[in-house]
Amino acid sequence: KAGVTQTPRYLIKTRGQQVTLSCSPISGHRSVSWYQQTPGQGLQFLFEYFSETQRNKGNFPGRFSGRQFSNSRSEMNVSTLELGDSALYLCASTTGDEKLFFGSGTQLSVL
Amino acid sequence: AQSVTQPDIHITVSEGASLELRCNYSYGATPYLFWYVQSPGQGLQLLLKYFSGDTLVQGIKGFEAEFKRSQSSFNLRKPSVHWSDAAEYFCASYGSGNTGKLIFGQGTTLQVKP
């Protein structure tokens, strides 16, 4: 069974641009959640989607948004990028048995 | 607010020695507790989890953890560390009804001396 797949693996953007990250969950998993990891703030929850609906949301500004498609694939979008958005963005999926399986992440660098 | 604390930012142990990584949580009811491991530039791999029942849980790679309600702790242990265990370890939790919304500790970096 394939794991959680995140694309792209690396991204370099400049301030003010926007970016879209993609996550394909493990087959059969309907819940997808997103996390931001930085050296200073550690791992922080962004949001969670289940059956195309946002079910939980972390404490991030509105520039961070996401969506989930009918096949459970998810995207997150960050608009008007800031230097502080440079981070490893991790996606995780679950069947609802409380165990999250993480992808390898997308490393975003904002210059 | 719910929180997870890992008091040790960095730990160094000799190969073959025992290991204990500390984790304390703050949550009124019994939380769901997890330990994850992360190698540099990679995602997180689940080592073990505790939801209820037996307070000593076994995980992968020879790790175990013990839930102690009286101390609000969920410490990770391994009797004999291997060089390949060098990585960053995260304790995490969430309360019932918050599926997917894990609260992570700051992480403990484990260095293994030959």
**Which residue from A98, A99, A104 is facing B43, i.e. has the nearest CB?**
A104
Counting Cβ atoms within 10 Å, is residue A105 exposed (0-12), middle (13-18) or buried (19+)? Answer: buried
Poorest-pLDDT segment among A30-34, A98-102, B27-31, B74-78: B27-31
- pLDDT tens, residue by residue, B17-62: 999 999 999 876 778 899 999 998 788 999 999 988 889 999 999 9
List the 14-73 stretch of B: residues with Cβ below 8 A of A: 32, 34, 36, 41-46, 49, 51
Determine the Cα–Cα distance for residues B111 and B49; give it in Å rounded to an integer. 23
Give residue B51's pLDDT.
Answer: 86
Determine the Cα–Cα distance for residues B42 and B50; give it in Å rounded to an integer. 24
Interface of A with B (CB under 8 A): 4, 31-33, 35, 42-45, 48, 50, 55-56, 58, 88, 90, 92, 94, 96, 98-105, 107
Determine the Cα–Cα distance for residues A60 and A109; give it in Å rounded to an integer. 18
Give residue A62's pLDDT.
Answer: 95
Q: Is the pLDDT of residue A104 over 70?
A: yes
Pairing, β A106-110 against β A10-13: parallel
Q: Is B14 left (phi over 0), alpha (psi -120 to 50) or beta?
A: beta
What Cα–Cα distance (Å) separates residue B5 from each residue in A33, A45, A76, B105? 22, 16, 28, 5
